[in-house]
Amino acid sequence: MPADDILLDCEEHMEKAIDHLKHELSGVRTGRASPALVENVQVDYYGAPTPLRSIAVIQVPEATQLLIKPFNPADLKAIEKALSESKLNLPTSSDGKAIRLNLPPMSQERRLQMVASTRGMGEHAKVAIRNARRDANKIVDSEQKGGILTEDEADKLKEDIQELTKSYETKVDELLEKKRHEIMDV
């Protein structure tokens, strides 16, 4: 496998780890309401688990409220059931056409718990990034043993992989810091 392909494959895996972290962080509650809090809640839609965003419009009419309007009013009960079974534990109110979720203000203790939770997500992303580095280094070693890469080329490629790892770990830290500010700012 050529050196460029090894590096590109490694970067692709690291980028996937970053994308996954972004997706996880979007579902973490901050002081404001966000459709990302509920858009991936799975609703039993005609026997198949379906993300809420696929069967309803999710709006933010106020900073601490979400409004969920199903495309088909008959799905309202299924959406209510899915929300009550989700780990969100948010009070819901329904008027027969839409569901309102009122987000209570977050205490300082809860904010600190959320920040700690995001750190855990960040650590998982860093582990995935380091695993991509490890896998790429294994490929480099096998290519070197196979005579495809010289020792100098292998060393240079490992340095490039390490630089790539550092840059992606920095991206994780930046994402976590941005999310921490969102959570801690009222």
Distance between alpha carbon 67 and the CA centroid of its chain, in Å? Answer: 23
Q: Which of 102, 119, 142 is the last residue of a domain?
A: 102
Distance CA 119, CA 113 (A): 10
Q: How many domains does the chain have?
A: 2
Distance CA 127, CA 28 (A): 20
Q: Is the domain of 15 the same as that of 39?
A: no
- 3-class DSSP state for residue 43? strand
pTM score of the predicted model:
0.74
Q: Which of 72, 102, 132 is the last residue of a domain?
A: 102
Distance CA 163, CA 142 (A): 21
pLDDT tens, position by position, 7-47? 999 999 999 999 999 988 887 777 777 888 888 888 988 88
Distance CA 180, CA 178 (A): 5
Q: Which of 102, 137, 159 is the last residue of a domain?
A: 102
User: Domain range spanning residue 147?
Assistant: 3-26+107-184
Q: Which has the closest alpha carbon to 55: 32, 37, 73?
A: 73
pLDDT tens, position by position, 138-184? 999 999 999 999 999 999 999 999 999 999 999 999 999 999 998 88
Helices (H), the chain: 3-26, 76-85, 108-145, 151-184
pLDDT tens, position by position, 75-97? 889 898 888 888 777 788 888 88
**Other Cβ atoms within 10 Å of 151 Cβ, number:** 8
